[in-house]
Amino acid sequence: MAVTHVITQSCCNDAACTAVCPVDCIQPAPGTPGFAAAEMLYIDPATCIDCGCCVPECPVDAIRPDVDLPPSLAHFAQLNAGYFDGRRPGPVPPRSVRAPSLALDRRLRVAVVGAGPAGLYAALDLLETGGSGVAVDVYDRLPTPGGLIRYGVAPDHPSTKLAAEAFAVHARDPGLRFRFGVEVGTDVTPAELARAHDAVVYAVGAAGARSIGVPGEDLPGSLPAARFVAWYNGHPEAGDRDVDLSGTRAVVIGNGNVALDVARVLVSDPALLATTDMAGHALDALGRSRIREVLVVGRRGPLQAAFTTAELTALERVPGVDVLADREELALTPAEQRLLAADPVLRARYEVLLRLATRPPGGPARKRIRLRFLARPVRVLGSDAVTGVRLRRQEKRDVDGVVTFRPAGTTSTVGAGLVLGSVGYLTPPLPGLPYDADRGVVRNADGRVVDGSGRAVPGAYVVGWAKRGPSGVIGTNKHCAAVTAGHLRADAAAGRLTPPEEPPQWLDALLAERCDRLTDWAGWRRLDRHERAAGQAVGRPRVKVTSLPDIWRIAGRAG
Amino acid sequence: MTARTAIRTCPLCEATCGLVLTMEGDRVLRTAGDEDDVFSKGFMCPKGATLGELHHDPDWHRRPLIRHRGRLVEASWDDAFELAGHLVRAVVEQSGPTAMAAYFGNPISHNLGGLLYAPVYLKALGSPRLFTASSLDQRPKDLVNALLYGDRFTLAVPDLDRTDFLVVIGANPVESNGSLATAPGWPRRLRAIRERGGRLVVVDPVRTRTAELADEHIRPRVGSDAALLASMVSVLFDEGLVRLGRLGGFVTGVERVREALADLTPERVAGFTGVPAESVRDLTRRFAAAGRACVYGRIGTTATEFGTLTSWLVDLVNILTGNLDREGGAMFPLPACGSPNTRGRPGFGPPPRLGRFASRVRGLPERFGELPTSCLAEEIDTPGDGQLRGLLLISGNPVVSAPNSERTARALASLDALVAVDPYVNDSTRFAHVVLPPPGPLQRSHYDVHFSTWAVRNVANYSPAVLDLDPRQLQEWQIMCRLAAAFEGRGATEADVDRRHAEATARAAVADAHSPVSGRTVEQLLAAVAPRVGPERLLDLMIRSGPYGDAFGGRPDGLSLATLEARPHGVDLGPLRPRLPEVLRTPTGTVALDPPLVVDDLPRLRAAVASRARDGLVLVGRRHVRSNNSWMGNVPSLMTGRPRSTLWLSPADAERLGVGTGDLVAVATRVSTVHAPVEVSERVPPGVVSLPHGWLHEPDGVRLATARARPGVNSNRLADELVLDVPSGNAVLNGIPVQVTALRPDEYEQPVNPLTLM
C-alpha cells in the first residue's frame, strides 16, 4: 500500500523538510511565490514517495505517515491534498550543501542580541556559512534561551516547543557563546557592543503590545493578551499576581493565532492544562476560573481573519468546548467568493467556519468559544473594573471588485469580566538605534539597520519581529535571518564592516563589572535539567521556575 | 528543448526499483517511481532521484588520473593503461602473482559490465589475492549457504508477499531497502503482511523504523542473536514443534542439531539475551503454528561475533518448522540467468571451496577464493615473503569500509602499485597511482545479474543506457578488457579480450550437459547473438541459455535480450516456486544441517553465554535511506538536512555522562578514538550506542567537495581488525565494546579527524 506523509498542526514553516525532499513534494518551498505568506507547508500526496526523510528534519514533530495519523490530526490529510488541487509537479530544483564561504583574513566577531528564534537562527546561519571564520556571542537579558518558544507558545502546544531542541543541538558549537543576563541598552549600550564586534545583529523581538485604542482599556480586568500569555507561561517579569477570572465571560479583541491561544487556554479543562508546562500560579488561577464563554472578536470578515486553518481546527478539538460561529457573519461578497474559489487554503478554512456555524450547540455543561466577525470595540465598559465591551457592527461591500469595510450604525453591549487585547505587538524603541515608529520596528532596509535618511548604520543588523513586525511562525524567522545574515556576509566581504576597536576581553571585563548576574549555556542546562526533573516527578514535561532569584540560584554564574 | 521520458531500473542498491526519468537534454528534471514496473510498482527511494545529480557530479571524473610528482593528474587512457600495466607487471615480476591483490567493493555487484568482466582481469593477473566487501558484510551467510545448499549464492529469501509471519532479525529494510532479499518497496510489503492479517515481529536492540512497523518488537542485548535463535531451536525440539514436512526427504543431521543445541534453552540464555524465556517460547510456538512463516536476518546477524552461527540458526528455524522452500516461507528464486544453481547437474555439486590456503600473516583460511578483508592491511604492512605490494581496487573504499581505517590508510599509502577503477578520488583512491573512472549511471546499461538471483519474485528487467558517453569516456567493460590486456602485456586489443570472454561464456554453456544449449557449438551461439558485443552479448548468451531462455530456437517462446528490450517495465516470471531438491549443488544431493565448521563454533557461543552480558557500552551501526555504504556522500540532495553522523546515546547514558544532544564525546576502542557529536535518542536502549558507517571524506587529497563540506565520523576507525566471526572470517562491525567520555568545550577544537595522511 502506498503511504504518503502529512504535515500537521505544529508546522513551523522553517522548511527544513523541503531541503531533504528528493521529489520536492513539500510546498510552498522557500524561493517559490507562496512561501512567505504560507500558513503552513503541505505535502503533495500524489508525489510523496513515503521515504520519511522529512520526518526527523521537522523540529516540531509535525510530519506523520497518513496511516499513523491520530484522529485529532486526521483532517490534515485533506488539508495537505487540498493545497495542491490537481497541480502537477514541476522540475525538482537542485539542492546544495553550503560549505563555509567566508574568506577573510581574520575571524569575524558578531554579537546577536536576543536568544529567541530569530537570534538563534541568525547565529546558526552565520556559523554554518562562516565555519571557523566566525565567532558569535548571543546576548539575552533573560537567563533562558528560546524567547517566545519558552514564553509565547501555548503550553498545550508541546510539539511547537520542540523547536528549542533543534537549537540546542548546535549550542555547543565552538564558535558560539551565550551571555545570559545582559540587557543591551541598560547594561551595555549598542555603541559599546559595536566597539567590540564587527557586527551586531538585533533580534530583540516585539515585547510591546499594541493598544486597542478605545476608552476604558486601562481598567482592571482589561489587559493585552501578550501580558496574559507571559503570565500563564511563567515569564519572570510577568509576575504571578492573579488575573481576575471570576466573571463568566471573556472577550478577546483581535482574531490572530494569539487570540485563539488565549481563548483556548481560558476554556480548556484545567486537568488537561495540568499536564503541560504552564506556570503553577496560572494553573491555580485557571482551576478556580468561572469563565464559561469566550468571544473572539474580529473587525473584518472570516476570509480576512488572521488565524490559521491549523489553529482553527485545533480549537475545534478542545475537549468539552463548543466553538460557534454566526452564519450571518460568514456571508461573502462576490469579490470574496472569487477569492475563495482561487485559494484552496482559504476554502478549507472557510469550510471549517461554515461547519462551526451549522453545528448545534451542546448542553449547558459545555464551555463555548464564539467567533465573532465584523465587530469592532468602541469602549471597554466599567468603572472600577471591566464589566463589558461595547461593539459596533461593521459592514462590507465590494468597491471596484475589492471588498471594503466600514462601521455601521448599530452597537451592542457584551458583558464580560475580562478583556484581552490581541491586536499585535511592537518593538519598543531601543536607545541608540534608529526606530520606525509607524511600523513599530527597528528602522531597517531588508535587515540592514538604517538611519532616518535611509543610510545603513555600519555593522548593525536586525532580524525577526524587530525587523519585519509580528508576523509568521517560528520557522519564518529562519528565512528572515538568512536574508539578514546574507547581507552581513556581503558587507564583510566588501569591507564595509569596521573591525572591532576593542578585544573581546574588554567587553568581558565591562560586563563582569556591570552585570551582577551573568550566566551561559551551561547555566541554562542546569536550570533546564532542574525543571525537567521537577516535571518528571509530577507527570509534566517541566515545572518552570518563574522567579528570577530562583532561576539565578539554580543556573549559577558563568564559569 | 522538449522533455522526454526514460525508463530504467535504479542501479544503486539491491531493491531494483523501476524509475521514470523526465529529461531535457542530459538533465533529469524529475524522477518518479515507475508505476508499471512489474516488480517495484511505483516505489522508489531518495537515492533513486539522484541519477541525474550523479551524472553531473563535478567530482565524478571523466578522464583517467595518474600520479605525477605525487599528485593525481588527468591523463589519456593510453597513458593510464600503460602505467597500470607497467606498475602491476613490475610487482608480479618481482614478487609473483600473489604479491598482487584485488579488492571489490559492493557497487560492482550492481554493475552489469563490472560484474561480468571481473574474470578477465583476474585471469590476466594470474591468481591475485582476492578481498571483497562481502567479508565485511554477508560472508557468514555465504558460508552457511555453501555448507547447506552447495553454493554461496543459493540463498533462501523471505517470500515476503505471501508470508503470514515474518520475523526480521538484525535488519532494517525500511532504511536499507533490504539486502540479501531483493524486494523494491519493503515498507509497503511489510505493511501488507499486517494488512492481510499476518504478523510482523522485529528483533533488534534498536528501535528502528522497521521496528516501528512491527506488531511486536523484541529487544535482545547486542550480540545475543545466536543465543536467542539457538534457544528457539531448542524449544522446537523440546516442545515437539519440529515439522519437517516434505523437507524430511532432503535433510540430514536433525538429531545431531538437537543434541548440539539442547542445552541452550531460553531459560539458560535469558541472562545473556535479556529476553524473558517465556516470550521466546511463546514466539517460537506461534511461529511454528503460523503455517507460512519465515525468519529473515541481515547485517545485525552477520557482521557480528557469532555471524556464522546466527546465519545458520536463521535457516535452521525455517527448516525445522517446514518453512524452507514453502510458499510464504523462505524460498529459492529461479532467476533468468546468473545463478550457479541453474547450471550443472540439478541437486549435486562439488564441495565448497574452503580453506584451500590461508592468509600469510594471521593464517586465516580462504573462503571461496577470498581472504578476509580484515587482514588486507596486515598483508600489506607486514614485511616478509608474499607481502602484498600491489592492489587493484574495484569500486571499493576500504579505508572507510574496513575495520581499523587508520591502518588501512597507511597500508594503501605504502603500496608500489595501486590501480583503482572508481569515479572518485576518495579516502582510498587518493593513494592510487592510476584511477580509471567508469561512466555515470545514466551512461550505462543495466541488468541485475546478481540481485535477480535473490529476488522475492522472479523477474527480468533490462535498461539501456539513457545518455551517450562523452567522446573521451570508456564503458566499464572496456576499461576492464583494456586493463586485462595491459596486465598481460602482450598487445591484445579490447575486442580480443571481449571476444575471448564471450567464447568462454558460450563454451561453458554448451559444455554443460544439463543446459538447454548442450551440444550446440560456440560458433552457433556467438553467431546468434551477433552483432552484439560487450555485456549485452554476454547477457544475451546467458539469458537465452538460462532457465527461461529461448535456447537459441529450442524454446521459441523463451526469453532473449531482445524480449527484455521490448519490455522496458520488465518481465514478470511469477512468484517463487518450490525448488528442492534440484536447487541444491551439494555432494550428497541433500541438506546436511550439521556442518562441522559451524557446529564446532558452538563452544565459543557457550562461553559467551556463560560469561553473561558485558558491562559498559557497545557500539552498533545504523542505516539511513539517504546513504549507501561508503559512497554517495558527494550527492548534494542526499547531504542536506540535519547531521546524520551522530552518536546515538540513550537518555539514561546521556544523563550518566552528563551530556546532551550536540555535545561532543570521545568514543574509544583498542584501535582508535574518535570525537562524535551526541544525539540523545530513545531508539537505543541503555548500554548501546550507534554510529552510522560510511562517513569521513575529510582528509586532504579527497576530491569530494560536497562530502567534504559535510564530513562525518568514520565508525570503522573504531572497529578492530583482529576481532572476527571465526568460521567465516567476517569483520565484527556491530557490537564493539567502546568507552565514551564527555569532552569539555575547550577540547572541541581538536581536529575531529586526526587522519591526516598525505
Residues of B in contact with A94 (CB under 8 A): 53, 636-637
Q: Report the candidate in A273, A248, A231 with the shortest Cα–Cα distance to residue A368.
A: A248
Residues of B in contact with A89 (CB under 8 A): 30
Nearest residue of chain A to residue B54 (CA atoms)? A94
As a whole number of angstroms, the distance between CA B407 and CA B404 comes to 6
Which residues, including other chains, have CB under 8 Å from residue B414's CB and lie 6 or more apart?
B380, B381
As a whole number of angstroms, the distance between CA B359 and CA B135 comes to 14
Residue B754's pLDDT is: 31
Task: Name the residue facing B195 among A1, A23, A90 (closest C-beta).
Answer: A1
Residue A375 contacts residue A413 (beta carbons within 8 Å):
no
As a whole number of angstroms, the distance between CA A278 and CA A276 comes to 6
SS3 content of chain A, % helix, strand, coil (to 5): 35, 20, 45
What is the tens place of the pLDDT at every residue in B534-565? Answer: 999 999 999 999 999 999 999 999 999 999 99
Residue A134 contacts residue A199 (beta carbons within 8 Å):
no
As a whole number of angstroms, the distance between CA A112 and CA A100 comes to 19
Residue A378 contacts residue A214 (beta carbons within 8 Å):
yes
Residue B210 contacts residue B202 (beta carbons within 8 Å):
yes
Angle at the Cα of A555 (from A549 to A559), degrees rounded to 5? 125
Question: Which amino acid is residue A422, in one-letter code?
Answer: S
Task: Name the residue facing B661 among A24, A100, A169 (closest C-beta).
Answer: A169
Chain A contact probe: residue of B12, B208, B628, B642 with most A CBs at under 10 A: B642
Confirm whether B1-56 and B159-176+187-333+580-602 share one CATH topology: no
As a whole number of angstroms, the distance between CA B338 and CA B324 comes to 22
Q: Report the candidate in B470, B434, B474 with the shortest Cα–Cα distance to residue B75.
A: B434
* CATH superfamily, domain at B159-176+187-333+580-602: Dimethylsulfoxide Reductase, domain 2 (3.40.228.10)
Q: Report the candidate in B92, B191, B123 with the shortest Cα–Cα distance to residue B492.
A: B123
Q: Where in chain A is the domain with CATH 3.50.50.60?
A: 218-422
Task: Name the DSSP letter for residue B605.
Answer: H
Helix (H) or strand (E) holding A150: helix A148-151
Answer whether B662 sits within 8 Å of A172, measured CB to CB.
yes
State the smallest CA–CA distance between residue A502 and chain B in angstroms: 23
Strand B199-203 to strand B216-218: parallel, antiparallel, or no bridges (unpaired)? parallel
Residue A559's pLDDT is: 53
Answer whether B642 sits within 8 Å of A89, measured CB to CB.
no
Between chain A and chain B, the number of residue pairs with CB atoms below 8 A apart is 104
Residues 236-255 of chain A with CB under 8 A from chain B are none
Residue B480 contacts residue B121 (beta carbons within 8 Å):
yes
As a whole number of angstroms, the distance between CA B712 and CA B700 comes to 14
Residues of A in contact with B45 (CB under 8 A): 22, 49, 51
Q: How many helices (H) and strands (E) does chain A have?
A: 20, 24
What is the tens place of the pLDDT at every residue in B655-666? Answer: 999 998 888 899
Residue B697 contacts residue B737 (beta carbons within 8 Å):
no
Task: Specify the residue for cell string 541472562.
Answer: B271
- The strand ranges marked E within B164-298 are 165-169, 199-203, 216-218, 251-252, 293-297
DSSP B69-102: TTEEEE--HHHHHHHHHHHHHHHHHHH-GGGEEE
Instruction: Show pLDDT as tens, one digit a residue, over chain A (559 residues).
Output: 578 999 999 999 999 999 999 999 999 999 998 898 899 999 999 999 999 999 999 999 999 999 999 999 999 999 999 999 878 889 999 998 876 666 666 789 999 999 999 999 999 999 988 877 899 999 999 999 999 999 999 999 999 999 998 888 888 788 899 999 999 999 999 999 999 999 999 999 999 999 999 999 999 999 999 999 999 999 999 887 889 999 999 999 999 999 999 999 999 999 999 999 999 999 999 999 999 999 999 999 999 999 999 999 989 889 999 999 999 999 999 999 999 999 999 999 999 999 999 988 778 889 999 999 999 999 999 999 999 999 999 999 999 999 999 999 899 999 999 999 999 999 999 988 999 999 999 999 999 999 999 999 999 999 999 999 998 899 999 999 999 999 999 999 999 999 999 999 999 999 999 988 899 998 999 999 999 999 999 999 999 999 999 999 999 876 5
Task: Name the residue facing A172 among B30, B188, B745 (closest C-beta).
Answer: B745
Residues of B in contact with A174 (CB under 8 A): 745, 748-749
Neighbours of B673 (CB within 10 A): 14
Task: Name the residue facing A97 among B45, B192, B636 (closest C-beta).
Answer: B636
Residues of B in contact with A49 (CB under 8 A): 33, 43-46
* Interchain contact A559–B (C-beta under 8 A): no
Answer whether A169 sits within 8 Å of B637, measured CB to CB.
no
Residue B725 contacts residue B654 (beta carbons within 8 Å):
no
* Interchain contact A92–B (C-beta under 8 A): yes
Answer whether B709 sits within 8 Å of A22, measured CB to CB.
no
Residues of A in contact with B50 (CB under 8 A): 22
Residue B366's pLDDT is: 97
Helix (H) or strand (E) holding A419: strand A418-421
Backbone φ and ψ of B220, nearest 5°: -75, 165
Cβ burial of B363 (10 Å; 0-12, 13-18, 19+) is: exposed
Residue A223's pLDDT is: 95
Residue B663's pLDDT is: 86
Domain residue extents for chain B = 1-56, 159-176+187-333+580-602, 614-747
Assess whether pLDDT exceeds 60 at residue B175.
yes
Nearest residue of chain B to residue A100 (CA atoms)? B709
Residue A101's pLDDT is: 63
Residues of chain B in Cβ contact (below 8 Å) with chain A = 22, 29-33, 42-46, 48-50, 53, 174, 187-188, 191-192, 195, 209, 625-626, 636-637, 639-643, 660-664, 679, 705-706, 708-710, 745, 748-749
Residues of B in contact with A164 (CB under 8 A): none
Answer whether A91 sits within 8 Å of B30, measured CB to CB.
yes
pLDDT band at B747 (very low <50, low <70, confident <90, very high): low
Assess whether pLDDT exceeds 50 at residue B756.
no
Residues of B in contact with A166 (CB under 8 A): 642
Q: Which three cell numbers stand for residue B296?
A: 529473515
Residue A403's pLDDT is: 96
More confident residue, B609 or B709: B609
Fold classification of A218-422 is: FAD/NAD(P)-binding domain (3.50.50)
Instruction: Report the share of chain B in percent with pLDDT over 70.
Output: 97
Task: Name the DSSP letter for residue B384.
Answer: S
Residue B745's pLDDT is: 64
Neighbours of A400 (CB within 10 A): 6
Q: Where in chain A is the domain with CATH 3.40.50.720?
A: 108-207+427-518
Residues of A in contact with B661 (CB under 8 A): 165, 168-169
Residue A363's pLDDT is: 80
Q: How many helices (H) and strands (E) does chain B have?
A: 27, 34
As a whole number of angstroms, the distance between CA B515 and CA B522 comes to 13
Strand B100-104 to strand B390-394: parallel, antiparallel, or no bridges (unpaired)? parallel
* Interchain contact A549–B (C-beta under 8 A): no
Which residues, including other chains, have CB under 8 Å from residue A20's CB and lie 6 or more apart?
A53, A54, A57, B46, B626, B637, B640, B641
What is the tens place of the pLDDT at every residue in B393-405? Answer: 999 999 999 999 9
Assess whether pLDDT exceeds 90 at residue B492.
yes
Assess whether pLDDT exceeds 80 at residue B749.
no
Question: Which amino acid is residue B218, in one-letter code?
Answer: I
State the smallest CA–CA distance between residue A168 and chain B in angstroms: 7
What is the tens place of the pLDDT at every residue in B27-45? Answer: 999 999 999 999 999 999 9
Answer whether B187 sits within 8 Å of A53, measured CB to CB.
no
Q: What value of ipTM does the predicted structure carry?
A: 0.93
Task: Annotate B386-424 with b (16+ C-beta within 10 A) or e (fewer).
Answer: ebbbbbbbbbbbbbbbbbbbbbbbbbbbebbbbbbbbbb
* Interchain contact A401–B (C-beta under 8 A): no
Residues of B in contact with A20 (CB under 8 A): 46, 626, 637, 640-641
Assess whether pLDDT exceeds 50 at residue B674.
yes
Chain B contact probe: residue of A51, A128, A530 with most B CBs at under 10 A: A51
Task: Specify the residue for cell string 497518513.
Answer: A66
Q: Report the candidate in B648, B661, B673, B643 with the shortest Cα–Cα distance to residue B750.
A: B673
C-alpha separations of B64 from A268, B95, B417 in Å: 70, 27, 16
The rounded mean pLDDT for chain B is: 95
Residue B387's pLDDT is: 96
- Four-residue CA torsion sign, B272, B273, B279, B281: negative
Beta bridge partners of A113: A139, A202
Nearest residue of chain B to residue A16 (CA atoms)? B641
Chain A contact probe: residue of B634, B646, B661, B748 with most A CBs at under 10 A: B661
* Interchain contact A89–B (C-beta under 8 A): yes
Task: Name the DSSP letter for residue A335.
Answer: H
Q: Which three cell numbers stand for residue A354?
A: 461554515
As a whole number of angstroms, the distance between CA A470 and CA A477 comes to 11
Helix (H) or strand (E) holding B228: helix B225-238
Residues of A in contact with B188 (CB under 8 A): 1-3, 50
Q: Report the candidate in B345, B331, B337 with the shortest Cα–Cα distance to residue B580.
A: B331
Backbone φ and ψ of A273, nearest 5°: -60, -30
A424 sits in the region (left: phi over 0; alpha: psi -120 to 50; else beta) called left
Assigned architecture for domain A5-84:
2-Layer Sandwich (3.30)
Residue A103's pLDDT is: 60
pLDDT band at B733 (very low <50, low <70, confident <90, very high): very high
Question: Which amino acid is residue B74, in one-letter code?
Answer: E
Strand A388-399 to strand A402-415: parallel, antiparallel, or no bridges (unpaired)? antiparallel
What is the tens place of the pLDDT at every residue in B290-341? Answer: 999 999 999 999 999 999 999 999 999 999 999 999 999 999 999 999 999 9
Answer whether B30 sits within 8 Å of A98, measured CB to CB.
no
Residues of B in contact with A2 (CB under 8 A): 42-43, 188
State the smallest CA–CA distance between residue B643 and chain A in angstroms: 10
| 3-class secondary structure per residue, B656-720 | HHCCCCCCEEEEECCCCEEEEEEEECCCCCCCEEECCCCCCCCCCCCCCHHHHHCCCCCHHHCCC
Question: Which amino acid is residue A281, in one-letter code?
Answer: H
As a whole number of angstroms, the distance between CA B86 and CA B88 comes to 6
* Interchain contact A174–B (C-beta under 8 A): yes
* Interchain contact A102–B (C-beta under 8 A): no
Residue B409: HSE in the Cβ half-sphere, 13 Å Cα cutoff: 23
Residue B750's pLDDT is: 42
What is the tens place of the pLDDT at every residue in B176-228? Answer: 999 999 999 999 999 999 999 999 999 999 999 999 999 999 999 999 999 99
Assess whether pLDDT exceeds 70 at residue B755.
no
C-alpha separations of A489 from A102, A127, B171 in Å: 7, 11, 46
As a whole number of angstroms, the distance between CA A311 and CA A308 comes to 5
Answer whether B46 sits within 8 Å of A165, measured CB to CB.
no
Residue B758's pLDDT is: 29
Assigned architecture for domain B614-747:
Beta Barrel (2.40)
Fold classification of A108-207+427-518 is: Rossmann fold (3.40.50)
Question: Which of the listed CATH numbers 3.40.50.920, 3.40.50.880, 3.30.200.210, 1.10.2020.10 matches domain B1-56?
Answer: 3.30.200.210
* Interchain contact A19–B (C-beta under 8 A): yes
